[in-house]
Amino acid sequence: MATCYITDVHKILATLGEGTFGKVVKVKDMDMDRVMALKIIKNVEKYREAAKLEINALEKIAEKDPEGRNLCVKMLDWFDYRGHMCLAFEMLGLSVFDFLKDNNYQPYPLEAVRHIAYQMCYSVKFLHDNKLTHTDLKPENILFVDSDFEIMYKLGWAQPCDVWSIGCIVFELYLGITLFQTHDNREHLAMMERILGPIPYRMARKTKTKYFYHGKLDWDEKSSAGRYVRENCKPLHRYQTSDDEDHRNLFDLVSRMLEYEPGTRISLAEALRHPFFDKIPTSQQLGDFRAAGDEARERSHSLSR
């Protein structure tokens, strides 16, 4: 079979994934003698424009964090090849979703959930501090550095939407199931109310969607869909598999991340100081939060004496 090259120097080794935007392939840069993940965007104007915005964001990230201390994926290069925007990235390992799938959706151990959640909060806080919002956080977009799984991960609207996404991801890692398993908007809202309680009247009145009537969700609980939601969803804390302090802390953090009101939802800076992360070893704490955690523990210790 003939060797396939996308350019004179980029030898295609394998296809890593495909989507509506294009595909990602594993390539070897023959000039630099290095293996990379190359994201090849379809030659469609809206995808080209989206790719340019992504490149701008990635260049800003590289400028603010040239050494990659904030766990964001590193773009090595980009170029336009016959109308296809091509973005080259460092080669990473499996996504946390693929690892979950390969293990028959067995949940992650709580300690792994703790580390993944901590590093997600740390990394996305860096984006928020630099006025960037991810908007597409999901297990498929969080990658192990390599397949030996040293719990180091990479991540790629208004910033509170990212916090909500992280809350959903933490839940999925803990139980191995998706929190809101539906693609129907009205059913999704019904699941939210079943799991998190009623959507606040102020928000329901303010929305321009067709799903609410006089400030309440327009939903028939006696329909087949209504029965499905009632039988397959339950209040958030009833998903807790143990009453140990670690599990209670995890669910307290998730519930704060899933506050309906964006203004009262926990920030990532606050999340990083949540008791759930107190057991992160000092050697594995990141940035300013290492010192902050030590100070908090010292204050707690002095008060108890």
Residues known to be catalytic: 136
First to last CA, the chain: 74
Asked if 217 and 209 touch (Cβ cutoff 8 Å), the reply is: no
Q: Is 39 annotated as a binding residue?
A: yes
Q: Which of 234, 228, 196, 198 is nearest to 216 (CA)?
A: 198
| Angle, helices 110-129/245-257, rounded to nearest 10 degrees | 30
Asked if 79 and 86 touch (Cβ cutoff 8 Å), the reply is: yes
**Cβ–Cβ contacts within 10 Å for residue 3, how many?**
7
In angstroms, the CA 181 to CA 75 distance is: 33
DSSP state of 275: G
Q: Which residues contact 11 (CB under 8 A, 6 or more apart)?
A: 3, 4, 5, 27, 28, 30
Structure tokens at 117: 């959640």
Binding residues for ATP: 39
Binding residues: 39
